[in-house]
C-alpha cells in the first residue's frame, strides 16, 4: 500500500504507526497480529499517512549550491543570495538580498559555515527576546534554552527540568509564528498534555494562536 513500509512485530499492547522524515512508514504491532489486521490499520489511517508523507516530501531539505540568485528565508521573507568577494567576511541583509562577503567565492564550506553561524546568531537574538517577553507575561522561569536543528518538531519542553528546545529552522518563519511556538512550549511548563486546558491557556495569552500556527504550514507534532 505504501512505499518504504516496514512492519515490526514486537511485545507491545497496541499498534503504533509512524512516518519518518525520510518517508519511511513504520508500523509496530503486537506479536501474532495477522495480515488482515495490519491492512485494516493501514486502511483506517490512510488519510493521515498521506498527509504526513505529503508534508515531509514538501519540506525535505534541498541542498543549496550557495551561489548568487538562490533564495533564502528569514523571518517569513525570502531573500536572494548575493556572493561578494571581500577581505572582511560577514553575512548581512541589504534590501531584498542576503549578502555573503567572503574572500574566496568558490569555498563552499566556508560559505556554509558563515550562513549557518549567521542564522544561529539571529535565532539566539530573536528567540531569547520573545522567550523573555512571554516568560514575564506568564510569570514562569526556564532553566535552560537550547537552539538546534530538529527533524520533526519546531520545539520541545521538559516541564520537570524546565528545559526548552527550539528548532533553528524557526528563524526562517514569520515572527508571529515564532511567538506561537515559543508560547506553546512555555505553556507545557503548566500543562504537559495537548488537552483543552493547554489550548485554553495558550489562547488566554494569544487569542489568535491558530492563525499564527497556520503560518507554520500545518507542521506536525505541535
Global pTM reads 0.72
User: Which residues of the chain form CATH 3.30.2010.10?
Assistant: 121-214
Q: Is the pLDDT of residue 142 over 80?
A: yes
Share of the chain above pLDDT 90, in %: 79
Mean pLDDT of 86-114: 95
Q: What's the CATH superfamily of 121-214?
A: Metalloproteases ("zincins"), catalytic domain (3.30.2010.10)
Report pLDDT for 183. 98
Q: Give the whole-angstrom CA distance, residue 51 versus residue 53.
A: 6
Question: The C-alpha cell of 175 is what?
Answer: 515572527
Question: Which of the listed ranges 29-33, 36-40, 116-120 does the model predict with the highest average pLDDT?
Answer: 116-120
Query: Which residue carries 485554553 as its cell?
Result: 200
Mean pLDDT of 171-189: 97
C-alpha Rg value of the chain to the nearest Å = 21
Report pLDDT for 24. 87
Q: Give the whole-angstrom CA distance, residue 117 versus residue 173.
A: 17
Q: Is the pLDDT of residue 220 over 70?
A: no
Query: pLDDT tens digits, residue range 15-36?
Result: 999 988 778 899 999 999 999 9
The contacts of residue 202 (CB under 8 Å, 6+ apart) are: 183, 184, 187, 209
Q: Give the whole-angstrom CA distance, residue 176 versus residue 214.
A: 10
Write down the mean pLDDT value for the chain: 92
Q: Is the pLDDT of residue 169 over 50?
A: yes
Amino acid at each position: 500500500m505504501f512505499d518504504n513500509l516496514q512492519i515490526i512485530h514486537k511485545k507491545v499492547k497496541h499498534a503504533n504507526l509512524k512516518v519518518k522524515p525520510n518517508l519511511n512508514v513504520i508500523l509496530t504491532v503486537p506479536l501474532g497480529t495477522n495480515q488482515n489486521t495490519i491492512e485494516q490499520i493501514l486502511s483506517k489511517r490512510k488519510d493521515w499517512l498521506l498527509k504526513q508523507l505529503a508534508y515531509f516530501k514538501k519540506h525535505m531539505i534541498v541542498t543549496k549550491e550557495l551561489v548568487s540568485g538562490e533564495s533564502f528565508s528569514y523571518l517569513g521573507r525570502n531573500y536572494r543570495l548575493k556572493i561578494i568577494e571581500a577581505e572582511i567576511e560577514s553575512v548581512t541583509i541589504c534590501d531584498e538580498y542576503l549578502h555573503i562577503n567572503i574572500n574566496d567565492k568558490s569555498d563552499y564550506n566556508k560559505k556554509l559555515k558563515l550562513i549557518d553561524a549567521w542564522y544561529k546568531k539571529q535565532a539566539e537574538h530573536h528567540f531569547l527576546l520573545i522567550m523573555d517577553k512571554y516568560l514575564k507575561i506568564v510569570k514562569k522561569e526556564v532553566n535552560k534554552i537550547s537552539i538546534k536543528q530538529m527533524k520533526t518538531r519546531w520545539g520541545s519542553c521538559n516541564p520537570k527540568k524546565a528545559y526548552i528546545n527550539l528548532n533553528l529552522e524557526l528563524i526562517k518563519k514569520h515572527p508571529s509564528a515564532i511567538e506561537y511556538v515559543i508560547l506553546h512550549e512555555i505553556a507545557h511548563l503548566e500543562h504537559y498534555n495537548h488537552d483543552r486546558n493547554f489550548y485554553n491557556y495558550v489562547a488566554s495569552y494569544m487569542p489568535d494562536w491558530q492563525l499564527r500556527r497556520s503560518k507554520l504550514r500545518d507542521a506536525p507534532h505541535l
